[in-house]
Amino acid sequence: MARRIVRPGAIQVQRRGVSRLPHLSEALALVLGALGTLNRSSGVRTINTEMNGQPVALAMIEGALFGEDTEGNTTLDEITDGE
């Protein structure tokens, strides 16, 4: 079953000395940058599909598993080195 990501802290961007939450386009760029970085070490595959009639973009990270820490926060564990 699909689960939502739970993290206590949010990524902040800084501009002119002020921190703020990223805009949607900035958040998407951060996600793509992170997936690109993971792809260099473990491999990332993508697929477009639908769920409940809505488009869904899936990214599959080879050798990685989602988990939870003791406080219920989402973790990404067991990334294997593809080299």
Task: Give the pTM.
Answer: 0.70
Q: Which long-range contacts (CB under 8 A, 24 or more apart) does 77-83 make?
A: 79/38, 79/41, 79/42, 80/42, 81/41, 81/42, 82/41, 82/42, 82/43, 83/41
pLDDT digits (tens, 9 = 90+) for 11-33: 888 888 999 999 999 999 999 99
pLDDT tens profile 39-57: 888 889 999 999 999 999 9
